[in-house]
């Protein structure tokens, strides 16, 4: 479950895995009054593994594994938590959609990009695969993938953001924590920095990588959290790290 406010009320968004002949579901529960929670809607999503959701500004973004990223209006315009309105879906390159963060740039007011984590195959403690995908949400009815960030030999898992400074912190399992500058137009790059399918490769832009933490010893970083100038990282091999956040 993830918890978020929509138009002044507090909701839990509960992902239910599919089963044999049973579709995956997203159950939305009004928990504004926690002693009397009320189920307000049940969304059937087919048979993908729905891992996570991200809710902001009346929009619901769903991480639907190999079905991609779903976008629903639950309060932005005509939709609501009790009557979600489907807007669009995008299958990011590689699938395995695990998590999402919709970036609001406080310096410019831009709300253009969502970052999508791809959790590919791996072995706990030693190997992982998967990129950070950048999805342009300028047109919510026709989202498109414009860029990605790759670490050779490692895959991402969870994100956190310092939105005031435009820094994405990505847990990269056996490659520690990567701090990536994501401010500006991520769809613009030089030809040498562009993949054969037209996406910008953020890892090919030296100025984008601000720091890598936790590389001095074997690590397997599961999660990362930015809090008021400090970054916390949970390492499955070594415990909890505390880092000073990157400064611009």
pLDDT band at 217 (very low <50, low <70, confident <90, very high): confident
pLDDT at 60: 97
- Whether residue 47 contacts residue 89, with contact meaning beta carbons closer than 8 Å, is answered with no
Q: What are the pLDDT digits (tens) for 225-238? A: 999 999 999 999 99
Question: Token digits for 179?
Answer: 């701090």
Question: Token digits for 167?
Answer: 């820094």
Strands 177-181 and 209-213 turn out to be antiparallel
Instruction: State how far the Cα of 19 lies from the Cα of 65, in Å rounded to an integer.
Output: 15
pLDDT at 15: 93
Which of 120, 181, 172 has the alpha carbon at shortest distance from 151?
A: 172
Instruction: State how far the Cα of 74 lies from the Cα of 87, in Å rounded to an integer.
Output: 10
Which of 24, 26, 29, 37 has the alpha carbon at shortest distance from 12?
A: 29
Alpha-carbon torsion, ordered 26, 57, 68, 108, to 10 deg: -160
pLDDT band at 214 (very low <50, low <70, confident <90, very high): confident
CA angle 51, 160, 112 (to 5 degrees): 85
Q: What are the pLDDT digits (tens) for 173-186? A: 999 999 999 999 99
pLDDT at 245: 93
189: pLDDT strictly greater than 90: yes
CA angle 107, 109, 114 (to 5 degrees): 100
Instruction: State how far the Cα of 212 lies from the Cα of 176, in Å rounded to an integer.
Output: 7
pLDDT at 46: 86
Give the whole-number percent of the chain exceeding pLDDT 70: 100
User: Between 48 and 132, where is the model more confident?
Assistant: 132
Average predicted confidence (pLDDT) for the chain: 94
Which of 76, 48, 71, 75 has the alpha carbon at shortest distance from 60?
A: 71
Match 């000073």 to its residue by tokens: 244
């Amino acid at each position: 479950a993830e918890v978020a406010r929509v138009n002044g009320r507090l909701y839990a968004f509960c992902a239910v895995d599919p089963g044999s002949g049973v579709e995956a579901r997203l159950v939305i529960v009004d928990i504004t009054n926690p002693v009397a929670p009320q189920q307000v809607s049940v969304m059937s999503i087919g048979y993908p593994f729905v891992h996570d959701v991200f809710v902001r500004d009346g929009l619901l973004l769903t991480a639907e594994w190999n079905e991609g990223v779903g976008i629903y209006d639950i309060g932005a315009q005509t939709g609501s938590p009790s009557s979600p309105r489907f807007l669009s879906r995008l299958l990011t390159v590689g699938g395995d959609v695990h998590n999402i963060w919709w970036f609001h740039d406080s310096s410019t007011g831009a709300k253009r990009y969502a970052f999508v984590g791809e959790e590919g195959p791996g072995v706990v403690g030693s190997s992982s695969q998967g990129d950070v995908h950048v999805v342009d949400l300028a047109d919510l009815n026709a989202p498109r993938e414009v860029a990605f960030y790759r670490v050779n030999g490692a895959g991402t898992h969870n994100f956190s953001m310092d939105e005031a400074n435009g820094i994405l912190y990505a847990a990269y399992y056996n490659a520690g924590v990567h701090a990536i500058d994501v401010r500006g137009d991520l769809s613009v790059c030089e030809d040498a920095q562009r993949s054969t399918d037209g996406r910008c490769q953020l890892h090919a832009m030296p100025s984008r990588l601000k720091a890598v933490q936790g590389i001095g010893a074997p690590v397997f970083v599961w999660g990362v959290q930015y809090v008021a100038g400090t970054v916390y990282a949970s390492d499955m091999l070594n415990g909890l790290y505390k880092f000073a956040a990157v400064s611009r």
